[in-house]
Amino acid sequence: MRIITLILFLVCANTFGITPGEFATTKEKAEKGDAQAQCNLGIYFYEGDGVSKNQAEAVKWFRKSAEQGNALAQNKLGDCYYEGKGVSKDFVEAVKWFRKAVEQGDAEGQKNLGVCYAEGKGVLKDPIEAVKWYRKSAEQGNAEGQCGLGDCYAEGEGVLKDPIEAVKWYRKSAEQNNSMGQLSLGICYYKGNGVSKDPVEAVKWYRKSAVQGNGYAQFFLGICYGLGLGVDEDPAELVFWCRESARQGNLVAQNVLASCYYKGAGVTRDPVEAYAYYLNYDELVAEPFAERDTEKSVSAEQLRKELKGELLPWQIVAAQKRSKELLALIRVQREAKEESKAVIHPGKISKENNWWEFNGYILIFLIICLILAAGVIIKQVTENELVLNFGFLIILLLGFYLIVGNFSKVDTNSVVKGLVYTLSKSKIRPK
């Protein structure tokens, strides 16, 4: 029965990817000039969904769709120019396409244009103009626009500083599960900015952000566990969350982990691992993606000197090797994180080209009912376990054929996120 359950799970998981048939249909429509199909095809090429990932090809289809006035494609094309994905980085061209989306009242385009004005990319830096576009986006319910507007109120950029108004917009963003909104709201509760200081509430929002992979939130949550702020002191939790943050290049987390390994706090003492994390700091400090909170502290530098004096030459070599391994993991994870920034939520893909949006779950339900009914019939006809299992297998294969027609890739993202969240709620921690 466990095997049957596993097969059913895999069948259900397969329905979230696109089948070759769906890809072919979308491509055919795109080639005939269907703007939405062109945009969807660009997304498939960008994400490598149903086809090999090809960002240059994605740009080609985004452009075709964008030139027909598709706001989603205009945003995607702007993103590609902004990030330099599939095309040379060009902030001015990015702004051009964001503005075209904005002309249609698109909330995502408004948020993107707000970012450009806030950072001075593709346009002259203008905090007031940034607030204008963040507000338009936020009022349409865009979570990132709400967080951006909250930042403006928190910092007094382009608008009078107002911590209470900042909290209002951070909360709206956080309640939509935006990780930066959750982090920012957690900081407000931690510091008492615009709201009464409440470490327990801060930990709540840090955790929500951390399980989504926000490196800063992971670090802050770890520190709360290390100091016993808003949660029971737990050195093992400190190590776990700082390790997660360090994997994303957070410099301070590197030093905190080094200290934990050096002192044996929350983890078995390991001078080699400690020195490897200190070496990471030296390598990462020059990286453009390194997440910086503060410069290296004097105490951290002192610990490093003590540690180096304690290690034998072979241990230093081992630490250098380990540091390279850790850095490689950091860079791979960072690249994956950059790629995920541009992923379009499946709900934004036209239902016209995604039959499963309408009928997939109904069909799965009916097939499961068929399997159960057939199982009862087979059970009544024979008590032979081999025949019974064979009958189940035939029905499952038939169901699988009816559902997907042919094999498509399993989307493991949701499974992985769920596992991370489950682990974060338990005392079991991967090492």
Q: Which CATH architecture has domain 37-103?
A: Alpha Horseshoe (1.25)
Contact status, residue 253 vs residue 277, Cβ threshold 8 Å: no
Share of the chain above pLDDT 90, in %: 48
pLDDT band at 421 (very low <50, low <70, confident <90, very high): very low
Res 417: pLDDT: 42
Q: Cα–chain-centroid distance for residue 258? A: 26
Res 6: pLDDT: 46
pLDDT band at 274 (very low <50, low <70, confident <90, very high): confident
pTM: 0.69
Q: Quick one: three-class SS letters along the chain?
A: CHHHHHHHHHHHHHCCCCCHHHHHHHHHHHHCCCHHHHHHHHHHHHHCCCCCCCHHHHHHHHHHHHCCCCHHHHHHHHHHHHHCCCCCCCHHHHHHHHHHHHCCCCHHHHHHHHHHHHHCCCCCCCHHHHHHHHHHHHHCCCHHHHHHHHHHHHHCCCCCCCHHHHHHHHHHHHCCCCHHHHHHHHHHHHHCCCCCCCHHHHHHHHHHHHCCCCHHHHHHHHHHHHHCCCCCCCHHHHHHHHHHHHCCCEHHHHHHHHHHHHHCCCCCCCHHHHHHHHHHHHHHCCCCCCECCCCCCHHHHHHHHHHHHHCCHHHHHHHHHHHHHHHHHHHHHHHHHHHHHCCCCHHHCCHHHCCHHHHHHHHHHHHHHHHHHHHHHHHHHCCCHHHHHHHHHHHHHHHHHHHHCCCCCCCCHHHHHHHHHHHHHCCCCCC
CA triple 338-339-343, angle to 5 deg: 120
pLDDT band at 403 (very low <50, low <70, confident <90, very high): low
For residue 108, pLDDT over 90 is answered with yes
Per-residue pLDDT tens over the stretch 327-348: 676 666 666 555 554 433 333 3
Res 222: pLDDT: 93
pLDDT band at 356 (very low <50, low <70, confident <90, very high): very low
For residue 246, pLDDT over 80 is answered with yes
CA triple 385-388-390, angle to 5 deg: 110
Per-residue pLDDT tens over the stretch 16-33: 567 888 888 999 999 999
User: Same CATH topology for 37-103 and 105-212?
Assistant: yes
Pull the structure tokens for residue 222.
Answer: 């770890």
State in words which class domain 105-212 has. Answer: mainly alpha
Mean pLDDT of all residues belonging to the chain:
78
Share of the chain above pLDDT 70, in %: 64
Per-residue pLDDT tens over the stretch 157-201: 999 999 999 999 999 999 999 999 999 999 999 999 999 999 999
For residue 287, pLDDT over 70 is answered with no
Res 263: pLDDT: 85
Picking from 366, 343, 283, 267, the residue whose alpha carbon sits closest to that of residue 319 is: 283
For residue 374, pLDDT over 60 is answered with yes
CA distance 129 to 144: 16
pLDDT band at 97 (very low <50, low <70, confident <90, very high): very high
Per-residue pLDDT tens over the stretch 43-78: 999 988 888 899 999 999 999 999 999 999 999 999
Res 332: pLDDT: 64
For residue 428, pLDDT over 50 is answered with no
- Domain residue spans of the chain: 37-103, 105-212, 232-345, 359-414
Per-residue pLDDT tens over the stretch 294-321: 444 445 566 667 777 777 677 777 777 7
Res 86: pLDDT: 93
Q: Which residues, other chains included, contact 189 with Cβ-Cβ below 8 Å and sequence gap of 6+?
A: 195, 197, 198, 199, 201, 202, 205
pLDDT band at 229 (very low <50, low <70, confident <90, very high): very high
HSE of 204, CA atoms in CB hemisphere, 13 A: 10
